[in-house]
Chain A
């Protein structure tokens, strides 16, 4: 995951601000930052949608559209931290399914829901620790490890619940996860409210604490970070545990929201999570990105899909739109970097 060869300007990367090229380009480039662009694009889509599409700006529609991204958004938070630190976890959707399957089978066996939730969360932490252990102690690359556990956790989910689908979860909890019962006085459903709180917390940790800066340092160059006294392995272990925890929490939300626990719940969701994070301008090589960008990426994909569906645009086109955005998100920062480098060179020859 770490690619020290791409490290062209250590001072730019290790400063923890994650501003691509900000050190060189100054004010104009700041506006060209991809994460800002995604934020602007999100606002543009919201405005265009409410202007052109009947029912889009309707609060129930916004609640439903937001709630549809709940699991992706929740998992995207720890995923952002992981990717910034140069790691990735592909097993999140399988952990979501495993958590859902466990919840279903225990509920079916007559357990109290209040007992099931902490157990599922504990399982998530354990699954995350296994990922972390394999990465830090055994020294395997996170991509390889989590491709393995992706299959493993999904398989376990099928063992736990088989081909059954468990439903009839308690109404109070189901309503908590439903978009029809938002936080009183707002249109924000409870799962999204939890997400907002956690997003603020994650943004604070990533951008305003020494711990956050050490994540950027690890992602930029792990060896250097280790020599600088950052306990790289311990931080990684904690990150994987937190990711597992959030994935299993998302599994509970998913189960309640759809009222159906199944082993194949959330199949393929890991790619949507990673796509959203990358769309938000987080560098897949690590060391670069902002949490705000990741959140904007998640919301952009969710809102755009809702808007396109409302306009009866076929699913194939929606997938293409998301794909084009993703390619743009990888390409644009590079183009900007090249452009500012040229300008700098021109400025240098002028003097």
Chain B
């Protein structure tokens, strides 16, 4: 009996081994062989800049996570914009920020025959296969907030150029600390596409001679989780007593960091800058924990995304560089390199202007 158990288990193991090895021939396939597969053919279609926006377009917003407050603002603005041009938009998405969960949503959106999918990707590559599948079925794909790989979408609505965000955060923080001392970054997850791009530009900016007396001592990851970001801030300030500033390029991170600093002895001594929403940061601006922070207007981002997707689905544009489309009250926009449409420079919020914003 024992012998049978084992031989059967071995047989099963061997069968599975053989199966996994027999997939598609046994000539060694290495990274060098892997080619970028055929780019989306949809872009070969001709754009008709004068085509009117179609009525009754079906748009779906797929955020990183359904209860992400920031993306909710973006999506709701996009849904409202769609009403304006006679389209029907909705927001669907997973309750966890996982790429694998987004994939099953993309598959069902394809089945539902949406005209366009707007996605904030949890992983630039993991969502690629199904998005390409969608584009093959003539469903337009627009990424926003967090981009996918370039050949998996037709347009990327960039909140502001990554370079501008990264460099301006360092510039503004440097002015606050007098171009001197240790600084740290509190980011979102280690894999976050946008945060990582901004951090690269921050590091690049710091190489300039103007910042020779400033030193980036650590990049901590709060995983866009309030509690974890709070603890990471605490950890940073304990580990580096000489820390002069924390830059947090994520709305969750900066709010958690501000909450920690406002109740600690570091209040007024450590500069906190980064990207936050006025409603979350109002309290900390008022009590002096934070002097200023930046962000683009997420409502405009959703609005622009909605119009861009509708223009694609109506055939006004195809996603090629140089094409122009009208984005309602935002005026005419041009598709840039790699299908990027840039929203504009970020807004800086401080004591003087924060009263004007409510989001």
Contacts and interface: CB of A to CB of B under 8 A. Distances in A.
B is bound to A: yes
A259 B24 contact: no
B34 interface: yes
Interface string B179-195: 00000000000110000
B103 A258 contact: yes
A245 B123 contact: no
Contacts of A190: 23
A118 B14 CA distance: 11
A168 B34 contact: yes
Interface string B119-142: 000011110111001000000000
Contacts of B28: 112-115
Contact of A171 (B1, B37, B123): B37
Interface residues of A, number: 76
B156 to A, nearest CB: 17
A22 B257 CA distance: 60
B108 A235 contact: no
Contacts of A231: 2
Interface stretch (A30-38, A54-62, A148-156): A54-62
B95 interface: yes
Interface string B25-38: 11111111111110
B2 A262 contact: no
A129 to B, nearest CB: 13
A117 B98 contact: no
Given A259-B126, A314-B66, A55 B103 contact: no
A194 to B, nearest CB: 6
Contacts of A110: 30-32
Interface string A107-138: 11011111101100100010000000000000
A205 interface: yes
A234 B6 CA distance: 9
A194 B19 contact: yes
B147 to A, nearest CB: 13
Nearest to B221: A163
B99 interface: yes
Interface stretch (B86-94, B240-248, B261-269): B86-94
A260 B16 contact: no
Nearest to B95: A315
Interface in B222-252: none
A171 B126 contact: no
Interface in A236-282: 238, 242, 245-246, 249, 252, 254, 257-260, 262, 264-268
Nearest to B125: A167
Interface stretch (A284-292, A304-312, A323-331, A340-348): A304-312
B111 A305 contact: no
A81 B20 CA distance: 22
A10 interface: no
Interface of B: 1-2, 4-6, 8-9, 12-13, 15-17, 19-21, 23-37, 66, 90, 92-96, 98-100, 103-105, 107-108, 110-113, 123-126, 128-130, 133, 149, 190-191
Interface of A: 55-56, 58, 60-61, 64-65, 68, 107-108, 110-115, 117-118, 121, 125, 162-163, 165, 167-174, 176, 178-180, 190, 194, 197-198, 201-202, 205, 209-211, 214, 230-231, 234-235, 238, 242, 245-246, 249, 252, 254, 257-260, 262, 264-268, 305-306, 309-310, 312, 314-316, 319
29 contacts: A55-B112, A60-B110, A64-B104, A107-B30, A107-B31, A108-B31, A113-B28, A114-B27, A118-B17, A118-B21, A121-B16, A163-B190, A165-B123, A165-B126, A170-B34, A178-B129, A194-B19, A198-B12, A201-B8, A211-B2, A211-B4, A230-B1, A242-B12, A245-B13, A249-B16, A252-B20, A259-B128, A260-B123, A305-B104
Give me the 5 closest cross-chain CB pairs, A-B, nearest first. Answer: A163-B190, A112-B28, A211-B5, A167-B125, A55-B111
